[in-house]
Amino acid sequence: MTQDSYKEMLAAVQAFHDKHQFKQTGGEEMTYRIALMAEELGEISSCVTKGKPPAELAEEVADLLILVMGTAIAQDFDLNQAFWEKMDKLNQRESRMINGRIRVSEFKGVDQ
C-alpha cells in the first residue's frame, strides 16, 4: 500500500515511536538519534560505493527519512514547514561550479 501524504507518513512514524515508547526509553534522545543517522549515512554510502541495486539504496534512504521525521517528533518542530521555508531560501540562492560539480550555497565571505 502506497501512502503519499506527509501527514500520513508523520503519523506512521509517531505510531512507531509510541509503539516502542521511544520518549520513555531514550529513543528520542538527540545524541542517540544523531548516531543512528550517521549509521544510516554509512549504509547509504555503502550502497553507492558498492554499486548495490536502487531498491537497496531506496531502503536505506527511507531509513534516514524515518529518522529525520522522528527527530522532528522528538524535538517538537514542524518539519513540513521547515522544509518549505528552507526551499524558499534555497531557491533564492545562486549556484556555482566548484571542482566540476554544481553547488548552491550562500558563499559567505567568498568572492563571486
Q: In this structure, what C-alpha cell is assigned to residue 67?
A: 529518522
Q: CA separation (Å) from 93 to 66, 75, 84, 101, 109?
A: 28, 28, 15, 16, 15
Mean pLDDT in residue range 107-111: 70
Mean pLDDT in residue range 41-68: 98
Cβ(20)–Cβ(12) below 8 Å: no
Per-residue pLDDT reduced to its tens digit, 55-71? 999 999 999 999 999 99
Cβ(94)–Cβ(104) below 8 Å: yes
Q: Tell me, which fold does domain 1-77 have in CATH?
A: Helix Hairpins (1.10.287)
Residue 73: how many CB atoms within 10 A of its CB?
A: 18
Q: Give the pLDDT confidence score for residue 4 in this predicted structure.
A: 75
Cβ(28)–Cβ(73) below 8 Å: yes
Mean pLDDT in residue range 26-34: 97
Q: Is the pLDDT of residue 112 over 60?
A: no
Q: Is the pLDDT of residue 11 over 90?
A: yes
Does the pTM surpass 0.85? The reply is: yes
Q: Structural domain boundaries of the chain?
A: 1-77, 78-112
